[in-house]
Amino acid sequence: MESLMLPRRSLLQMAAAPALSFLLPPLNARAASRRGTERARSLIVLWMNGGMSQLETWDPHPGTASGGDAKDVATTVPELRISSLLPQMAEQMHHCLTIRSVTSKEGDHERGTAFVRSGYRPEPTLKYPTLGAIVVSQLGAGKLEIPPYISVSPRIPVPEGGYLGNAWNAFRVHHPGREVSNLEAPVPDARQTRRLENLQLLSRGFAASHPAAARQTLHDDLTGKALQMMQSEQLQAFRLDDEPEVLKKAYGDTEFGRGCLVARRLVETGVRVVEVTLPGFDTHVSNHEGHVTQCRILDPAMSTLINDLHQRDLLQSTIVLCISEFGRTPAVNPAAGRDHWPAWFSCVISGGGFRKSAVIGETPADVPVSDPPAPKDPVTVPEICATILDQLGIDGSKEVTTPVGRPVRFSDCSPSPRLIASADGH
């Protein structure tokens, strides 16, 4: 099957550069930013909900039985070819580490999601916190007046604090680029003040008669944070009114595209973790056509996000992880779809001190589904999670005690040096 070739410069870069140039901070601020980027400060997770096919995205095998209808395209990394459905990302792969051998044993959506988000396989007696909850619980919110952990366009199950508690659940934003719901008082200021005074009286009475329950509900804490957020100028990070039209167009006029642009604005404001969800990858039927549709959304949004962060000197301090709960079978089923496949799949990581212009892992071109061989150079999910924590300055071996008295570590795996850039940046 004939491969497609890609020009070395994409229209994306030419379109985005003018939009970005006048938005960059002054040179002295950018230099200061470079000096303070030994550690990543933020994490953006691009969550491909449903199980993205590696064969139609980061690991195509054109011209083979496993490859199906996918073609490949040249990238800015020599000898790395990705799906022709991602031509704009092909121009950004020199900023990325591509892992083609992520391996898991969780082939169920809910269990696979819990595993990839936390680094722990789910169990009935303990709910593990997502990686984002660990990050914000350890790094704190700093001077933020908006939540430090935000889920954009979430799907069930939503990211949660698990044994760390509900205080570390992600704040959900359902319509990126619009006003955040319920942040404007529905009554005049004077009436709002009276309502709050009456609420304080009720809260004090409840706390006096039920002190344990008052502490558990976090009612006063949440009310205070909500009121602070309602008055904060940092809410501007959720809005896109002041972004140039050319940049919004580059991200894509889609919910996911707007979500990625909001994610950039949020980490620029100081938010620690943002997860942006793109659903639609559960392609048991018409897999290739489904990925054509979803990649048209993913490609401009992800490529512009990486380029935008790079242009603003934010990529080194921000980890961008694009991942799914598992991959798709090498075999195409009778409905022209691909089924769940955790044996190996792919992810892409950019920024935050991770390797760039690099590929880890290799998968065979044609695979017997009934008895698949292991991928070459496998990378485990806990390995990825532990390394992300380490790059954010968090000790994954730290032991905490759950509410039922069980000692648990944030990660049961050591960080992986093979995922991290060497002294020369590669």
Read off the tokens for 377. Answer: 């150079």
Asked whether residue 23 carries a pLDDT value surpassing 60, the answer given is no
In angstroms, what CA-CA distances link 92 with 10, 207, 228, 408? Answer: 10, 54, 39, 38
- φ and ψ of 136, to 5 deg: -70, -30
Asked whether residue 69 carries a pLDDT value surpassing 60, the answer given is yes
Q: Are strands 345-350 and 318-323 parallel, antiparallel or unpaired?
A: antiparallel
Peptide bond preceding 417 in cis form (omega within 30 of 0):
no
Q: Does residue 426 lie in a domain region? A: no
Q: How far apart are CA 328 and CA 309, in angstroms?
A: 30
Q: How far apart are CA 340 and CA 226, in angstroms?
A: 41
pLDDT, tens digit, 9 for 90 and up, residues 91-106: 999 999 999 999 999 9
**What domain count does the chain have?**
1
3-state secondary structure of 123: strand
Range of the domain at 407: 11-178+239-419
Quick one: pLDDT band at residue 371, thresholds 50, 70, 90? confident
Quick one: pLDDT band at residue 1, thresholds 50, 70, 90? very low
Quick one: pLDDT band at residue 219, thresholds 50, 70, 90? low
Residue 10: the pLDDT is: 40
Rounded percentage of the chain residues whose pLDDT exceeds 90: 66
Rounded percentage of the chain residues whose pLDDT exceeds 70: 79
Q: Does residue 410 lie in a domain region? A: yes
Asked whether residue 378 carries a pLDDT value surpassing 90, the answer given is yes
Residue 335: the pLDDT is: 97
Q: How far apart are CA 57 and CA 302, in angstroms?
A: 13
Q: In degrees, to the nearest 5, what angle opens at C-alpha 356 toward C-alphas 352 and 360?
A: 110
Asked whether residue 221 carries a pLDDT value surpassing 90, the answer given is no
Residue 293: the pLDDT is: 98
Question: Are 291 and 48 in contact, with CB atoms under 8 Å apart?
Answer: no
In angstroms, what CA-CA distances link 254 with 258, 275, 356, 390? Answer: 6, 16, 28, 33
Higher local confidence (pLDDT), 79 or 194: 79
pLDDT, tens digit, 9 for 90 and up, residues 118-176: 999 999 999 999 999 999 999 998 888 889 999 999 887 888 999 999 989 999 999 89
Q: Does residue 1 lie in a domain region? A: no
Give, as one character, the DSSP assignment of residue 358.
E
Q: Does residue 231 lie in a domain region? A: no
Q: Does residue 198 lie in a domain region? A: no
Q: Residue type at 283?
A: T
Q: How far apart are CA 336 and CA 285, in angstroms?
A: 6
Q: Does residue 402 lie in a domain region? A: yes
Residue 21: the pLDDT is: 35
Residue 58: the pLDDT is: 98
Nearest to 61 by CA among 302, 256, 327, 244: 327
The number of residues in the chain equals 426
pLDDT, tens digit, 9 for 90 and up, residues 252-301: 999 999 999 999 999 999 999 999 999 999 999 999 999 999 999 999 99
Q: Does residue 55 lie in a domain region? A: yes
- φ and ψ of 380, to 5 deg: -85, 160
Asked whether residue 9 carries a pLDDT value surpassing 90, the answer given is no
| Mean predicted confidence (pLDDT) in 341-358 | 96
| CATH code: domain of residue 24 | 3.40.720.10
Residue 155: the pLDDT is: 85
* Predicted model pTM: 0.84
Q: How far apart are CA 150 and CA 412, in angstroms?
A: 25
Q: Does residue 6 lie in a domain region? A: no
